[in-house]
Structure formats: structure tokens, C-alpha cells
Amino acid sequence: MSMRRAESFVATHGRAILEQTGAGLVMAGTKTTNGRNTGEPAVVVAVASKRPLADIPPAQRVPPVMDGLRTDVIQRWRPHARPRIGKFCLSEWPLGCDRPVERHRPLIGGVSMFHDRWPWAADAVGTLGAIVRDASPNGGGRLVGLTNNHCLGMAYNPAYGVPWFGENDDARVVVHQPAVPDTGHPERDRIGTSLRRVPLNFHTATRLDHPEGVPLYTGDPWPFTDAYVTYPAAPSNTVDGGIIAIDPGITAAWGMLSITDGPLPFAAKSEVVLGMTVYKAGRTTGRVPPSLGTIISLSAAADVDYGDTYRRLPGWEQYKLWDPFEEALGAIFTGQMVFSSAYEGDVTNLPGDSGSVVLGLIDGQFKIIGLFFAGSGVEFGTFTPIWTVAQALQIEAYDDVTAHPAPSTSGNQWFFGVDCEPAASPSAAIVEAVPDAGAPVAPVYPAAGTLTLPVRHRPDSMQVVPDFSELTHGAGVIRLGKKGYHNYWGCFVFEGAAIPLGTTVTSAVLELTISPDVLHDRRLFNPAGSTVQLTLRAGMQRDAFRPRDYTEWNTYRRTDASVGWTIAADTPAPGDVLTSPDLSAVLQEVLSREDWVPGGGLMIRITDETSGWASLLVCGLGPDADPAHAPRLRVEWE
């Protein structure tokens, strides 16, 4: 059975399957049996929770075969399209020179942005996907910013569901870069207004059929009863997209932060194939390297969650949240594509990445293949093909070789391993230039060498206390061993590991400096002859970054190889340097990954195996710590 037939079937019947089964995603994919991908084309149905067949009403069951195509039911969250609420982002851990949350002039793709129309706009962020051209009859080919509709005030069709944060007047939607919750200023960082959006048709929402002439209501309880009515069935959507009219005086450039400074043409439909690797730079997952994914479906239908059902009453200043257990605001999309993380455990998307463009490396050049707008967990992402976006928004690629501002100096081309320095200040002078349209030349790494890797300034070092599921960032002092009944672990992320793929590690040692606080600690807790027994492993990330909590720390993959380290706890003096046993086998396992990124980060994880009460205090790197005493990783390779 051909994949093309599966794609055609989903394109025709995807919405009906969503409505029948209550699934969040239906796509043309491949069948997985007993954890093994068979490669057989199938209709894949993603549900939030897999249940025993007896618990599913017969009308909602997914048959084993549809129109001669086998089916496969997988468990995935319902796709959700929500701007990031709050200020957390992976890019707050500077794992390179990229700073999506900072001010970028000229404007460039992959950076923080948002509008001012939310009642809580101070807590919401999205992504400026790319700079493109307005191809409408009156557009004149001017430069505009591409992002999602739901990052531009949410234009909607009032005949169907009405979002509580919806705004249909483009002129009222003011856009900032960076978003105000990041480092943006509500006046100084204005970059423009919404120019054009594709209104969304929402379904399964409720609305308030309130009486005329109701005065402004400012208190509780909610005065109306039996006020819910169901919207009629809404048509399917094809695009969650919009473009920004850039204010005069605001410069813009082609390229994508952390990926490329070159032009980004739109890919042709024939150039996008199943299984191709895709790249994305989003506001929240913006880091070095950017998110990697693999296209797993070229034809999908999705029922996307846009949040709990709110309603702003005409002429009212208050907002009312319906009971979140009633119904959520949703929208059905057809004609979509889906990517999944290219490597197990990788984070491909998080809230705040909305508006990112999806790139493919085609014949040596990055091209835009789609517009990301909804994620299913951190591994699955739903995006709209760029040819669909271009037609709906009347845009074309900004890829012509004409004079325009030079790329932002705070960019970093991770793909080619080019190091960089952050911009000196947000007000750095903008130089008019024509950048080289060719691809940057990959650096030549030495065939052999020695590196001393410093621990990163941030995320600093981490103190891990598994007994309490605690993880403390930026610890100036790290305890290793056992104090009382509690085990203390440590974790260090080292940067700048410019070691080429495929090399052989001949020597690797971790050096830790004893903290001055050890004297007090030794008298109380380390009897004569006591030892601290540790196990060292490395994180298996292709470019390590700091876990944000204990759950993430505990689920990160680590090397199978490990090294034991026994240290006398009663003899080290302040300032003594402890040198670990050889870690070559541990690092070799990481550097042998096919996706290892030279210049990336290495994580060393230290767990405690101490049986008695014995611990050591070593220097980490925190706000008040001496960098000269920070942990070091020395590596030799050939």
C-alpha cells in the first residue's frame, strides 16, 4: 500500500476521523508494531490516552483497517497552540551566543516577539518566524514579519467560536521585539502592527447569550444562568498565520538566528519529502544547536487546543473564564505536516515557539518549508506547508540579493560551528551591507589536540539532592557524598567542546577544587579513614544544556559507560585539586554520536555511592564563586 494513498485518504477523511474518535491528530504515517517501525504506510491516530477497547464506545473506536489501509493508535497530547505564559525559556541558559529574548536590530527570524492585546500581555511571548515580502497587489514587495495569527491578537470568524483574547482590528495590534515579558520595552521596542491575518474558525466553544443593557459587572457571583449556547460546526482551517507591518525606521534582514545569515527561499512542494531533517529556531527552545526534527507525515489533520473558553463581552472591561472542565476552544486544521524529534529525548518545541518557521537543508541551502504553530508535548510539532502559508497571506520569500542591513551581531551559525560574541549593546550601530549569499565555510578542526573546558558561566553548576528531588542551579559550592541520611550529587556543563566527530579520546579528566568550607565540614562529618565513593557519567545530549528541574534531570539520557572515583574524605585541604580517573570511555560514547556538534556542551554527572557518612565540598560556579576554582574538564584526542 503506497504512502501516497494514505496521504490522500487523510486529506479527504482526516476531519471526519477526528470528530468520530475524539483524537487530537490524524496523519499518514507508518505502522509501529511491538515498538518497531515496520515502514508500512498507515493511518496513524494520536489520542491523549490509550484505553482498553471495552472502555471505548463502539462509535469512537478506531477500526484496524480503513479503506484497505492499516491503522495505528498512538498516545500523544492533543496539539496545543498557546503563546508562552511566563518568562522561562531554554535560551535563558546561554549555551552559545544566541539570545532570542534580546533586542535584535535589524530584525531577524527566530527571536522573541508578541503583541499588546492580551489582558495579561505582560506574561505572553511568541516567535518572529522570518522576514518575508508582501506580495499582495498593494504590497509593493515591502518587508514584513511572518508569525502566527495567535501571536498577533488572534483574528477570528465571529460566526463561530469567539476567543476571549481575540482582536480583529489589525491596527489595534501593536507588536514588540523582544516581547515585553522578556527584555522588551512597551515604547522603545515597538516594531510595528499587524498587517494581515487568516481568521480562525473555532469550534466546541460556548458563548454567553447575555441580555441587552446589562450594566458593567465587576463582582461575583456571575449573574447569568443558562447562558451557554453551542456554536455551529465550524469549517476547517488551513493556516494559523499573520504578517507584521514593520514601522518606518525599523530595519530587517534575511536569515535565522543561530542557523544561518543567508537568504531563506521558500521550498517547492517537490523538495519536501518524508523523513527529511528539519531545523527550527524558536523563542523558548532557541539555543545552540537549534531544534532538530524529522518529518514523519506529509498529510495530517489536527484538532488544536487554543486554551480554555473565555469571552469578552461587548462594551465590558472584565473577562470571564468559563469552567475549564466544560469545553475548550479548539480549531480543526487539515492539510498539515508533522515533525518529530530527530533523536530520543530532544526537545523540539515548547510554548513560546509559536510562529517559528521550519527549515530544510536542501542542496546545501536552508529553505523555509513551513510555519510551526502547535506542539504535542515536546517531541511532536504540527506545521503548515509554506506554499499554503504563502497563498493565504500573499507573501513571497525575501531571498533576492539586494542591499539590506547586515545580520544581527548576536547571531551564531551553529550549523557551521562559528563562534561569536554577543552584541555590545542593543543600540549598536547598524551597518548597511550586502551579505554574502553563499554558505559559510565550515571550520577545520584539528585532527589532534588538547582542550581545557570551563564550566559555563550559566547554567553554572548544579547541586542535586535526589532524596528530596531537588536541583539547585548556580551553586558556588557543591557537596559530594553522604551527609546524614542524604546523598548529594553534582552536575557540571562544560562549553566549547570543539572536538570533531569521529575522533578518539586518549585522555579525559575532571578537576575539582576543594572549597575552604571543607575544614568545618570535616571536623563534624568525616571521621578518619572515611571515603567518598562516586560514579561519573556523561549526559548523552548532542549539545548538553542545563535541566530546569529534577524530573528533567532524571529523565535525561546518560552514557552506559561510567567511571568510579574513591576520594579520601578526611585529608583534602582547601584549594587542593582533585583529579578524577580517566574518563575517556565516557566521553567517547558521547563524541561518537552521529549528531555530535563540535563546539557544543558536555555534561558530567556525578552520583554518590558512599555507604557511610562522608562528604566533600568542592567549588562550583555561582554568583560569588571564584572562576579560577571552577571545575575543569581536560580532554586530549587524536
DSSP sequence for 248-262: TT--EEEEETTTBSS
**Which pLDDT value is given to residue 477?**
82
CB 133 within 8 A of CB 144: yes
**Which pLDDT value is given to residue 526?**
63
CB 285 within 8 A of CB 348: yes
3-state per-residue secondary structure call for 65-99: EECCEEEEEEECCCCECCCEECCCCHHHCCCCCCC
Distances in Å between the Cα of 300 and the Cα atoms of 62, 201, 273, 320, 379 are: 16, 18, 14, 34, 16
- Which of 386, 346, 347, 550 is CA-nearest to residue 467? 550
E strand or H helix that includes residue 175: strand 174-176
CB 261 within 8 A of CB 405: no
Q: What does the DSSP 8-state code read for residue 24?
A: S
**Which pLDDT value is given to residue 10?**
96
**Which pLDDT value is given to residue 423?**
30
Q: What does the DSSP 8-state code read for residue 629?
A: G
E strand or H helix that includes residue 521: helix 518-525
Domain ranges of the chain: 3-75, 84-400, 449-637
Instruction: Indicate the SS3 state at residue 59.
Output: helix
CB 302 within 8 A of CB 332: yes
Question: How many CB atoms within 10 Å of residue 55?
Answer: 6
Question: How many CB atoms within 10 Å of residue 437?
Answer: 13
pTM of the full structure: 0.62
Give the chain's length: 638
Please give the grid coordinates belonging to residue 398.
Answer: 525575501
Instruction: Indicate the SS3 state at residue 19.
Output: helix
**Which pLDDT value is given to residue 257?**
85
Please name the fold of domain 449-637. Jelly Rolls (2.60.120)
E strand or H helix that includes residue 193: strand 190-197
**Which pLDDT value is given to residue 362?**
92
**Which pLDDT value is given to residue 233?**
73
HSE value, Cβ hemisphere, 13 Å, CA-based, for 536: 25
Q: Which residues contact 391 (CB under 8 A, 6 or more apart)?
A: none
What is the block-wise mean pLDDT of the chain (638 residues), using blocks of 10 residues?
90 92 92 86 89 84 92 87 56 45 89 76 79 94 95 87 76 90 83 96 54 35 37 84 95 87 93 92 69 89 74 35 48 95 70 91 93 86 97 92 39 26 27 32 48 51 74 77 78 74 86 74 62 86 66 76 88 85 91 73 82 78 71 85
